Structure 1
């Protein structure tokens, strides 16, 4: 029953009498008036109940008021707590729904010390720390907003200044071009006008010759006509010669103006899409988030660690991005995550490179390995990684800051790789699981397994366990001493198993490529089910990674899909 403005006495109300309650009994889950409280406090059945005033009851959060003391389904008092299902149980609940559950404990023992346990003090300290951190972050973010505004104004002025410079330069170029146009037009006009003047003079000369010819023909004597025609013949011959050569005059050509815009200007118009670009500049915040008790687990001593069933797990897509394309099509076969959250990918066979990206998918750097072919990669610290090479029978240690190989370790045919407590563990074909000490290169065989003979065998660790796939239908789990804990095989759900990851509950996530899905295997290796399939965007993949309740599935083409696991 949730607290309200007026709470009635439950006992009186059952007798059809409306009396305002002055007290509340959490175990009876009802209000009590002053008179009924007296009887309640002396009754053998209820004298041990811890009643509180109705005013204190109304101060409790609504969700706390909703906590019931008895099982609503069976009308029995709760007696046990099931950590697997995070539920209070009555005896009938246990017999019906919790027969297989382990770690159940009586709630009476736990609640006796609930008020005096360190949990409340720890929660108060944690909430205080959280509030202090939030206030620090708020101040820092507000300061960042002011800084962004200042940067905005500075960039705006820079854009306008650049535009002004561009305009001034274009005005200069335009003036020069127009002056050149005017000058060229004047030259062409001069050539044509010169020719026109010459032709005008020739027309006058021809008209005179025509008049002379008519005059000689009509009025001259026969001798004058004969001799005159010879003289005129020479003059006409000269004029014919001029007409024939007139096409050689510059003014006779068909002249015109043509504008050829400079290729660089054309490039500006066609290729340049902007004056510049605006990018987000991201750097690590100076604020360090720290909660004093964040690494301490404050549980009631009676409560064992909780396990989780694979049936309870759900996955929802929350993000997607792609690895920066290389010169050729990507073939992503390895992934590891640095302690600072950056991711490094092995882009095998075609591009022969390592690609490092930030957690938001933006590129950090590329490290080219040609002619070596990086197959799988594991982070040793924030700048050092170990990489297996597909065809060269070696593991190389790479400093990602200098992008150089600092150490080479000769091996057999090594494939999947991981790092654990100063050791590099990897799958060596036809031998098994090997371990190399990073500091002295000492090599030992943890698991002798000649069945590891496929090119896409992968390995990971969690706690004291080692897990590996064999690109078949089998997943194996060993302890760090090499003793097999379990082996799971099911061809109906697992086929061409590659990438493998493990969550905090010991549940295993495996890529099954033949069926194009992600398979869950229980922590004891006894049961499995499909979590994600092709309809969830799963395609052929080698790489899978689990971190902070997020599952990263990476296709060979370099598409990273991020799923929230709940």
Structure 2
């Protein structure tokens, strides 16, 4: 056993020396100094007996108090008041459940009737259960703050990456512009060359005709001169020359009289003027606010758009939808085997590509890349560059229905009893199908959404409602409500809420992201929704998009 004056940092004491603790020491206290207002180890007690200014200090132990302590030393607070720094926090106001120094109590709690001296009544005031509860709360709060800190670090990393991607997109756009300008330059030079060759050809043909006429006239003149002396031949030569002159005159009149051989290229000033009017290549969408929303959304306005395009052979059956980082809407048109791109501002289909199968769901995997799931156990990556185009396919060992991507992970439901977690190469990492008791977690799992913090996975189940699991597949909560029948699709608002559509109840409800609290109904049947298949939310414009079974009309609900 270590002696009382020895630094025994691996031992635990009820009372530690206050002075040594300030130097990160760990010594057992044997006395309490009234004037120093702190506990002293044997070495500090010895110091009190050496220095003249300390000799007069009152050192107390258990025997110095009339009350019966259960410990060797009096239990006295050592924390000093943050306002009156020379005072100890040795008073407790039971009326307000706060501690303070004598000055604080005198100034702020003079009318309070239940004021206690902590050291005198600690036996009545202290409860071990309070101590354990506070320690547990502190640990939980610390853990929660650390998670928030980690989330902010991840957000900062995401922000840095998005900035780099934004700068890259600007530079790439400039390169595209340069390519366009180069093409325009080559086309401009081409039409100049074509016009030059056309005019040059005309002038050369005229020169050839004129030179031919000059030769004929020179020959006729020679013939007339040579016939001198022979009147008969002279007469023939004159008549032949007169005919030639008449023909030359006629030919000369038919030749265009070119008074100027110069070409001018008229610059389209609108191109330059249009560029001058643009200060930037585009706009920066502000970072989406992560501040939680705790109130129900209401509909401010509703728009409708027909997404039918040429060569569509069936009515629209949009089973999946999502919003890209650029604010475009992707639609998985199942029956027409197409992925369509909608400009929400222009309310028009601006691009599309044909697919080899019937797409059930779509999600964004990267800033310029999407993933589509098919009913033939296949997923396919889609390039979102203009124009969009199919990329590589991956065959999986299970059915593919709902689809969601988060941080290099793909979450896929089989429209039955399992949720599969894959990496981006298609490697199966985990299968989630049982709850914590070993029972089936799903009955008919459908679409998927990830919480704003990335720690929860929400899966709609047409028979059970909304099932929430953590990233390890552990069951957290199952939401079920009689007002939501055949829960089919789910998405987040990026502010702590979920939207869940009931395919049979013809509505969209709002839940908190704890997965169990319903805030209310946002869209109902009277708003024109029937047999909804997918929902997505545009946080930039606060717009909820709803697609419907066998319907080319997509509904846009502007919320507030």
Q: Do the two structures share a fold, i.e. TM-score over 0.5?
A: no
Q: Shorter-chain TM-score category?
A: 0.3 to 0.5
Please, what TM-score do these two structures have when normalized by structure 2?
A: 0.44
